[in-house]
């Protein structure tokens, strides 16, 4: 795997996160916060998990091991969640901009939230995060449909088609 492939995955991930947030924009606040079951009770809690996981991994790539996620309660509405996502995305983009090919093979050692120490290659953690975000965006899609909303598509091929049409 090379850096350009990783950067392409993160371009897709940013696009898909933005579309997911756009899908949340018109939700009434009670639907955004309503407990619906699932891995993370509400739409807010599920997408805040995406944002918080992207933050924690960015920190791990830089040698830190945060011991807790920020709480989803701090995201009082979609605008607050979007603002936090923009901060995380900017930090992530700055990190990615400095990547060179050899960096992908360096080990990343961190302590997870359970206190366990793990080591993986940077490239594996980068791919893992995009996959993780995709998984939970799919959960958000299901939750949106449960409240009668129509989510925007975030499929990778929809992203690729849009890029082809733009050129």
- Per-residue pLDDT tens over the stretch 8-32: 999 999 999 999 999 999 999 999 9
| Sign of the torsion angle spanned by Cα atoms 63, 113, 123, 138 | negative
Q: How far apart are CA 160 and CA 163, in angstroms?
A: 5
pLDDT of residue 70: 87
pLDDT of residue 84: 98
pLDDT of residue 143: 97
In contact, 46 and 38? CB cutoff 8 Å = yes
Spans of the chain below 50 pLDDT: none
In contact, 32 and 44? CB cutoff 8 Å = yes
Percent of the chain at pLDDT above 90?
90
Q: Tell the CATH topology of 3-162.
A: 1.20.120
Provide the token pair at 40.
């993370």
**Domains of the chain, residue spans:** 3-162
pLDDT of residue 28: 97
Q: How far apart are CA 93 and CA 87, in angstroms?
A: 10
From the DSSP assignment, how many helices (H) and strands (E) are in the chain?
6, 2
Side-chain-facing half-sphere of 95: CA atoms under 13 Å: 22
Q: How many CB atoms lie within 10 A of CB 110?
A: 19
Smallest CA-to-CA distance from 149 within 37, 44, 25, 13 is with 25
* DSSP at 74: G
Provide the token pair at 85.
């996502």
Smallest CA-to-CA distance from 42 within 94, 95, 9, 81 is with 81
Q: How far apart are CA 5 and CA 110, in angstroms?
A: 24
pLDDT of residue 44: 97
pLDDT of residue 163: 75
């Amino acid at each position: 795997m090379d850096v350009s492939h990783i950067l392409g995955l993160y371009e897709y991930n940013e696009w898909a996160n933005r579309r997911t947030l756009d899908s949340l924009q018109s939700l009434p606040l009670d639907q955004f916060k309503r407990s619906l079951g699932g891995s993370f009770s509400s739409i807010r809690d599920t997408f805040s998990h995406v944002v918080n996981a992207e933050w924690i991994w960015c920190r791990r790539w830089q040698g830190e091991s945060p011991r807790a996620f920020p709480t989803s309660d701090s995201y009082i509405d979609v605008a607050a969640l979007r603002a936090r996502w923009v901060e995380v995305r900017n930090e992530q983009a700055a990190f990615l901009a400095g990547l060179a090919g050899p960096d992908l093979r360096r080990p990343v050692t961190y302590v997870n939230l359970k206190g366990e120490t793990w080591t993986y290659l940077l490239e594996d953690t980068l791919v893992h995060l995009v996959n993780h975000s995709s998984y939970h965006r799919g959960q958000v899609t299901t939750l949106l449909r449960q409240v009668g909303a129509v989510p925007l598509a975030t499929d990778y091929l929809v992203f690729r088609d849009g890029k082809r049409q733009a050129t």
